[in-house]
Amino acid sequence: MPDLVIDNLTKYYDQFKAVDNINLKVSDGELITLLGPSGCGKTTTLRLIAGLEKPDKGKILLGDEILSCSETGKHKAPEKRGMGMVFQSYAVWPHMTVAKNVAYPLKNQKISKIEKKIEWTRHLQW
């Protein structure tokens, strides 16, 4: 997967600044964690990356492709980004295991079981 680049990302909800000028680069194969207190913008940042929210400022790139850019107004729809998001506790499917919740976006992309297993285990290797 190409590098994910977040450049000067900001998101407001009315007067509340939920995400404040974040800059981040995640390289192919890199595993990161967003850590901070409740209300600091972790979930909002993930929602921006997934395309569920539009940034008020900044841009999100996947390789050379612009996923979202406040200057140009470009915003690629979530279903066209080729990525998925597993929501926090109340929004996961309670009848499914953790693995099935995580694999659900892959199923929606019609990825075969063997491809899912390869993708899943690739990220578990340290």
Instruction: Using alpha carbons, select from 72, 61, 52 the residue that is nearest to residue 11.
Output: 52
The reported pLDDT for the residue numbered 120 is 60
Contacts of 41 (CB under 8 A, 6+ apart): 11, 18, 19, 20, 22
Phi, psi of 98 (to 5 degrees): -60, -45
Class of domain 4-80: alpha beta
Other beta carbons less than 10 A from residue 60's beta carbon: 26
- The residue ranges of every structural domain in the chain are 4-80, 89-122
Q: pLDDT of the chain along its 126 residues, tens only? A: 789 999 999 999 999 999 999 999 999 888 888 999 998 999 999 999 999 999 999 999 999 999 999 999 999 999 888 887 767 665 677 787 877 777 777 776 666 766 666 666 666 554
**Strand order of the sheet with strand 57-62?**
16-26, 4-13, 57-62, 65-69
Report pTM: 0.74
The reported pLDDT for the residue numbered 7 is 97
The reported pLDDT for the residue numbered 126 is 43
